[in-house]
Amino acid sequence: MGSPLLGVNQLLAQRNRAAFARSGALVLNLMSSPGSGKTTILERTIEQLAGRVRLAVIEGDLYTDQDARRIEGKGAAVVQINTQGACHLDADMVWEAWQQLAERQPQVLFIENVGNLVCPAEFDLGEAARVAVMSVTEGNDKPTKYPLLFRQASVVLLNKVDLLGYTDFSLERFRDDVGRINPRALVFELSARTGEGLAPWCQWLEEQVLARSEEDELHGRAGP
């Protein structure tokens, strides 16, 4: 029997999903352990897509607005959510933040979830897709130890590949594990620090935005 809390959250997530669909925004829920490099990836993505894609970020953290200030410094609209100790965002928190961003009409809305590999995977936020982020410095065991996150992800970003030579991380094992857990997931291997591998990830984002724009035109939905 499902948790009543999860049941209520699911109803609120459906409300969010409908609002996101009406806006035309591609909403991506980024999840990872602390220190994987989610915020740095977002900074580099914002830089790469500046002037081409309207981006906004909902920044989830236990405390402080340090990451939100980093994102704002790159020129993207951002709203900070502090969970005050809660290990994940929920659909209602995201709804409140969305009220502050909807008028900016983002084409892509990133939800940077709280750094945690367990709780965030259980809470639907109304996103179109989930993005699992991990880094080579975390070791090879994350996909098999936390399969729910990787099973639900449409995209997996493997960060810090520039450090492969300083670790015993096995790309072959990583690819095998992710492929076995979720053969449909798109995998991008990149380094947010050096920029290696960022272009394919950003190209994928632009392709998703274009596809949504064409679908809106086909169905007569007005753009911004």
By the 8 A CB rule, do 91 and 126 touch? yes
The tally of domains found in the chain comes to 1
- The answer to the question of residue 161 being in a domain is yes
What pLDDT shows up at residue 188? 98
Closest by CA position to 65, among listed 130, 109, 112, 128: 112
pLDDT of residue 138: 97
The pLDDT, as a whole number, for residue 81 is 96
Q: Are 143 and 29 in contact (CB under 8 A)?
A: no
Residues of the chain with pLDDT under 70: 1-2, 219-224
17-30 pLDDT tens trace: 999 999 999 999 99
Residue 75: inside a domain, yes or no?
yes
14 within domain boundaries: yes
10 Å CB burial of residue 161 (0-12, 13-18, 19+) is: buried
* Nearest C-alpha neighbor of 126 from the set 96, 104, 105: 96
| Residue range(s) defining the domain that contains residue 8 | 4-218
Kindly report the CATH number assigned to the domain that includes residue 141: 3.40.50.300
At 6 the pLDDT is 81
* pLDDT number for residue 4: 76
Confirm whether 139 is domain-assigned.
yes
Judge whether 52 and 88 are in contact, CB under 8 Å. Answer: no
Q: Residue 159 and residue 196: Cα distance in Å, rounded? A: 10
Arithmetic mean of pLDDT over the chain: 94
- Give the DSSP H or E segment for 111: strand 108-112
For residue 205, being part of any structural domain is answered with yes
**194 in a structural domain:** yes
Residue type, 153: A
Does 47 map to a domain? yes
Indicate whether 108 belongs to any domain.
yes
